[in-house]
């Protein structure tokens, strides 16, 4: 102790190391306690999906008011920022798939051996009603099985089967060749699928942060987000042309639509 008194710099260094380690311990304890409190009552694992970040990551607001980012166990969707346009396109389609099925929906989370990852995200199996969404997105071909980190053997088997069936049936990303081509009047019968919609762009309008490329009587619309308009400098030339819009078919207030992020999603037929 006398030596430390004679060397205040060394004493200060020891105190700084202690405080750093103590701070790290408190942070980890809080994270662990937060997860424990979250899981202490099974009803607290019910929540509403308030955001979709990509095909395999969402945010859930639990009934106790806590909001947490959630990474779905055992699946992997393409990255939105991938440098290859085709891969990035599939990533956006996976995001739209998850958004279409989960946004503002009530879900139940269950967990495996690890509750949180190093980024503070919950690692979970996501149940919507009786449907295990982790398996469902694989079965529909909008993600692949991710086995880098271990998880329940029975789920590994189910997930592998789901992906194999999607590949065999050519669903989602696994379709060989062009996506199914449909007419705008039939769009409402193909919701939730990757398709190519052929129609005459009857009108163009801007609203709610999108440019709408509308079909006749607005039976269908291709939507370009205004943040992406820089990639579509000649969009006005599409008026009165027959176009083919490719992407994930969803609907908003009863109108079938496809969000357009990349120029290759729109082709002029004539």
Residue 17, pLDDT score: 55
Q: What confidence tens digit (pLDDT) does each residue in 88-103 have?
A: 999 999 999 999 999 9
71 given a catalytic annotation: yes
> Taking 70 as the threshold, does the pLDDT of residue 256 lie above it?
yes
Catalytic residue among 44, 79, 106, 198: 79
Residue 12, pLDDT score: 52
Q: What is the pTM of this model?
A: 0.84
> Taking 70 as the threshold, does the pLDDT of residue 19 lie above it?
no
Catalytic residue among 121, 140, 163, 250: 121
- Mind giving me the DSSP string for 94-121? HHHHHHHHHTT-EEEEE--S-SB-TTS-
Q: How confident is the model at residue 28 (pLDDT cuts 50, 70, 90)?
A: very low
Beta bridge partners of residue 202, listed in sequence order: none
CA distance 239 to 243: 9
Q: Give the DSSP H or E segment for 233.
A: none
Residue 43, pLDDT score: 47
Q: Is 192 left (phi over 0), alpha (psi -120 to 50) or beta?
A: left
> Taking 70 as the threshold, does the pLDDT of residue 40 lie above it?
no
Is 72:49 a contact under the CB 8 Å cutoff?
A: no
Residue 5, pLDDT score: 52
Structure tokens at 215: 């079909």
């Amino acid at each position: 102790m006398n030596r430390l008194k004679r060397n205040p710099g060394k004493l200060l260094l020891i105190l700084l190391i202690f405080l750093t380690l103590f701070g790290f311990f408190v942070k980890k304890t809080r994270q662990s306690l937060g997860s424990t409190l979250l899981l202490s009552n099974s009803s607290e694992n019910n929540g509403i999906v308030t955001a979709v970040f990509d095909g395999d990551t969402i945010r859930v607001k639990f009934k106790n008011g806590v909001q947490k980012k959630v990474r779905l166990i055992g699946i992997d969707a393409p990255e939105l920022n991938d440098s290859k346009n085709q891969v990035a396109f599939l990533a956006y389609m996976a995001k739209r798939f998850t958004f279409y099925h989960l946004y503002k929906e009530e879900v139940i989370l269950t967990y495996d051996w690890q509750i949180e990852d190093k980024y503070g995200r919950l690692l979970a199996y996501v149940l919507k009603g009786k449907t295990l969404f982790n398996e469902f997105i694989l079965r529909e071909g909008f993600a692949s099985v991710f086995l880098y980190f271990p998880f329940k053997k029975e789920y590994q088997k189910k997930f592998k089967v789901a992906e194999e069936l999607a590949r065999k049936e050519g669903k989602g990303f696994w379709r060989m060749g062009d996506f199914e081509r449909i007419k705008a009047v039939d769009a409402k019968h193909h919701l939730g699928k990757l398709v190519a919609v052929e129609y005459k762009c009857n009108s163009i309008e801007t609203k709610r942060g999108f440019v709408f490329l509308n079909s006749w009587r607005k039976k269908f619309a291709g939507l370009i987000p205004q943040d992406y308009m820089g990639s579509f400098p000649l969009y006005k030339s599409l008026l009165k042309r027959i176009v083919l819009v490719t992407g994930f078919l969803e609907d908003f207030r009863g109108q079938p639509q496809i969000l357009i992020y990349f120029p290759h999603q729109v082709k002029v037929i004539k």
